[in-house]
Structure 1
Amino acid sequence: MRREPYDEAYKAEIVRRVLAGETAEAISRQPGSPRGATIREWVVKAKHKEALKATVRQHVEPRPVVLAPTIEAHRPRRVLVIPDMHHPFCHPDALEFLKAVRDAYKCDSVVCLGDEVDWHALSRYDHDPDGLSPGGELEAALVSIAPFYTAFPDVLVCTSNHTVRGHRKAYSAGIPAAFLKHISMVLHAPDGWEWRDEHRIDGVSYIHGDAGRSGQYAHIHYMKQAKRSVVIGHIHAFAGVAFEGQHFGMNTGCLIDSEAYAFAYGRKNLLPVSLGCGVVIEGREAHFIPMHLDDNKRWTGKL
């Protein structure tokens, strides 16, 4: 028999089953069960309060939304490059994969190329009416990204088209920037996470890659345009490195869960996503590190 409204004991039992390994979709197919999206919201709310304790920080004054200029880092570095994660729709093994790459390559710096969150519910395109609400998606993203804050407390982040969706909607509505929270406050990010349009380390430009170039050779076009080595994300289907003389262009692919409803638009594409990340060594070497999956679409645990 269908239980509406669902009481707290029933919700707690469903959450327990999900945390024990059952999927929301499998439970939703059982008679009398709520929709998968409803179950996911219950799980998010159950985990939300505890996760925020570890990630929320206090701000005396809200920081402005205006972006700071590019900073050039002068000390040679070994950079772990994190591509688009699209929390809360990130691949479930992304964190362990990134930590393994960081340790294997002895990386001392971290750059995230943007789209760290998705904001599917804020898209100007049609979004799934059975998916999370904007508030629900924010809560889910905060829970999903919290372990990354712990593993990577200092990250240079590139501003990107998905992350600023909320601010763009506010801009379109005529709301001044002074009324808005900085994205770091929205995401409860640690102080070591810093957003800019571009970061430069050892002469290499790190950008999201949503400035008009696209396709398989976008990283090469950006390299030629900038006349320097460039690393991009944004384009999920392709990844790799190309050199031209001393300069290189690298596309780092993505770390998304391609089965999530937020990526339903790409299901009919013949091109699969390219999962992985990047490593740049002292501005001279660039490596795309693929994340190899098994038949269950989980990381094999091998680099």
Structure 2
Amino acid sequence: MGKEGDKAKLLLIYNPVAGQETVSQMIGDIARSLQEKWDLTIRPTLCGGHAERIAAQESEGYDVVVAAGGDGTIHEVVNGLMRFDKRPILGIVPGGTANDIARTMQVPLDLLEACEFMKQEQPCAIDIGRCNDRYFVNFFGVGLISTVSSEIKNETKTYLRHFTYYLKSLQYLQSDSLFRVAITTEDKTIQKEAVMVYVANGQSLAGLELFGDKELNSGQFEVIIVENIGLSEIMSVASSYLRREPIQHEAIFRFKASELTIACSPAQFIDMDGEKNGKTPSKVRLLSGALRVIGRV
């Protein structure tokens, strides 16, 4: 860390291809803004997984590590930082499409406004989810969420935003997407046929706020099991989302938990913060106040 009177040290990890390369186009302005407060080092990512490696290998000695990019970039940086016992503060410059993590942390979506926000706000400790040996900020999901999220990466989702999720969901419900899920929590075991399990730590998905009453540091996940649901039903649920109405449907089972084990038959791909991370079975638990982030909760 810097000596007294020196500027604190900041490592900026940015994804040059996030969104429509907006971060790359504005990296000079971002750097000039951050240099007003911090001694700045900049590292661009070169491929998938690179942000995590940079965070894990180069963060020691920095006061703040900023992830500039989408939720995937933030996810990687968080997983790099979580390897340290004494972790730098995380900052966010949201340059992706949905920017769900930034929305939850109330970080401005304009890049330069986000820089000003970081210079003025104080860090706060937030809960982090852990699945096996990986970490997530916003959500853990299996089933339909994983399939749809993976497909959307190949599309121009900047323009379609959350509507793309609905369109893809309708497409995949045409195929056989049911699986058996057994979830064991601190006090109960739940077994159902489902098309999706969604474990939320944050508040939004694909840029749309799903849980207006969900606090990031509530000490519990919001868990949703979507049972066998047809086209007309998912349209009804999507319509409720768009009207900002509570999620209420007989095919949607909701509860809260801070620790759960999830087993699926057949085994399902795991999606964390929009990134594929292995297959079930999984043990998911909440780590209270595990990371300091510049934002508001």
TM bin, normalised by shorter chain, reads under 0.3
TM-score normalized with structure 2 length = 0.27
Higher strand share: 2
Higher helix share: 1
